[in-house]
Every structure is written in structure tokens, then in C-alpha cells.
């Protein structure tokens, strides 16, 4: 597994550099920013698995950075690491989207524990998300084999499920009847059969007929495409 990438935004250089050394020694890749503006720049131009923020920062506060981060990424773990330790301060941090809050002075071992918990939780959420396919308000759970459109459970046959799964893996791509036949039925497409069109109709009746927007569209002379297209 690749080492996690951590962004630390901390204006006290001694603390920031000490954290960087300690976390690197524990196997993490660490980027440090000493003011809010540079911290936000690193976030928007890089890829990180965890963000550690002081609150009182030059330029842009840690609270404002967290608020901006949450507008772009609702899942990135964010920890506030600050000397502001009142209950009101913690409430402010959690209200802007922080996942955890550690008050200075702190034990480095406690910081490591919190980092491990946040990263583990994030990895588990990502793994779970990989088994859920979505388009608009349609959701397919590959583990439970459940299909929902909005809050409505939809029952599909095994072949209908396979057909929809193939569409979901190829969203916004025109799929020919030959591609569908090969990848869903495992057979060469026979122009004398209308099995593809029959099953497309079955699927449309179950996931499209009573819902908006419609999702499965015919591309005349080319095949079918799954995409969001408002009626």
C-alpha cells in the first residue's frame, strides 16, 4: 500500500517541522505550509489523504480553509491541531467539517493514533464506495445486489442486473449491440435476434419508465447509452 500523503498547515515553523520529521519517520509523505494561503494552494494543486490544520494562521484561518475544502471534498479526513481548546472552539471546528480536534500541547503518540484511525476509516469508506455504482438517483450495490432509484427498491433478474451493471461501468459511452452481446451474454451478436432490444426494454420499464431523468437512450444506428439527460 502506498504511504499516505499528509498536508500540515501550521504557522509555527518549529512545530510544523518537528511534525514533518516525526511523521516521515513513521512512513508518511508530508507537505508543510506555514500560512493559510499556501496551505489552500497545496490542497487545490496536490493530492492528500489527510489534512492537519492550525486555526490561527496568517492569511486564511484554518476554519476557512476547512470550509473551502469541504466545498470541494466531503470525504478527505481533516484534523484541527490548535491551542484553541474551549468547547466553543471545538464546536466551530466540527461545524466547518473537521473530523477530529487535538489541542496543543499534545502527545505525538496520541496524534499518531488519531491519524491512524482517520486514515483507516477513510480507506474503509473508499473500499465500500467502490462497490456502489451510481448515476443520477439510481444506485447499484454490488455486494448486496440491491438496486434503488431514489428511495424505491427495484427488483431485477440476474441478466437485467448484469446488463445494468455493464451500462453503469460504461456511463456516457455509446455501446453497440455487439458489445452488449459479448460482454453481457458472452456471445457473438446475431443480427437475426432481438434479445438485446428486448432486455433493454425490460430494463427501461423498471428503472426509467416512472422516473426522471431518463437514463437509457437509443443512439440510432449505433446502439445505446446510459447518461443523465433531462426530459
Per-residue model confidence as pLDDT tens digits over 172-223: 999 999 999 989 988 776 766 788 999 999 999 999 999 999 999 999 999 9
Buried b (16+ CB within 10 A) or exposed e, 61-72: bbbbbbebbeee
Q: What fold does the segment set 132-229 form as a domain?
A: Arc Repressor Mutant, subunit A (1.10.10)
* Cα–Cα distance, 28 to 4 (Å, whole number): 5
β-strand pairing of 138-141 with 146-149: antiparallel
CATH assignment, 5-130 = 3.40.50.2300
Instruction: Kindly report the pTM of this predicted structure.
Output: 0.60
Q: CA distances (Å), 31 to each of 16, 23, 122, 176, in order? A: 10, 10, 19, 47
Give residue-wise pLDDT tens across range 37-68. 999 999 999 999 999 999 999 999 999 999 99
Give dist(CA 170, CA 183) in Å, integer: 12
Q: List every span in the chain annotated with CATH 3.40.50.2300.
A: 5-130
Report the Cα–Cα distance between both ends of the chain, in Å, rounded. Answer: 45
**Region(s) of the chain under CATH 1.10.10.10:** 132-229
Amino acid at each position: 500500500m502506498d504511504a499516505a500523503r499528509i498536508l500540515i498547515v501550521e504557522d509555527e515553523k518549529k512545530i510544523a517541522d518537528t511534525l514533518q520529521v516525526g511523521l516521515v519517520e513513521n512512513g508518511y509523505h508530508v507537505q508543510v505550509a506555514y500560512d493559510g494561503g499556501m496551505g489552500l494552494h497545496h490542497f487545490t494543486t496536490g493530492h492528500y489523504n489527510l489534512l492537519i490544520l492550525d486555526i490561527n494562521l496568517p492569511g486564511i484561518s484554518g476554519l476557512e480553509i476547512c470550509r473551502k475544502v469541504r466545498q470541494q471534498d466531503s470525504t478527505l479526513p481533516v484534523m484541527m491541531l490548535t491551542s484553541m481548546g474551549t468547547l466553543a472552539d471545538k464546536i466551530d471546528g466540527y461545524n466547518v467539517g473537521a473530523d477530529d480536534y487535538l489541542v496543543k500541547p499534545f502527545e505525538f503518540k496520541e496524534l499518531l493514533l488519531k491519524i491512524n484511525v482517520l486514515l483507516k476509516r477513510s480507506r474503509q469508506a473508499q473500499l465500500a464506495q467502490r462497490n456502489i455504482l451510481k448515476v443520477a438517483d439510481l444506485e447499484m450495490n454490488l455486494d448486496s445486489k440491491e438496486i434503488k432509484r431514489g428511495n424505491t427498491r427495484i427488483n431485477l433478474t440476474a441478466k437485467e442486473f448484469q446488463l445494468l451493471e455493464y451500462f453503469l461501468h460504461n456511463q456516457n459511452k455509446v455501446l453497440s449491440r455487439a458489445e452488449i452481446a459479448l460482454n453481457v451474454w458472452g456471445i457473438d451478436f446475431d443480427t437475426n435476434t432481438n434479445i438485446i432490444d428486448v432486455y433493454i426494454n425490460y430494463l427501461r420499464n423498471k428503472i426509467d419508465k416512472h422516473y426522471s431523468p431518463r437514463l437509457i437512450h437509443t443512439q440510432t444506428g449505433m446502439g445505446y447509452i446510459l447518461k443523465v439527460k433531462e426530459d
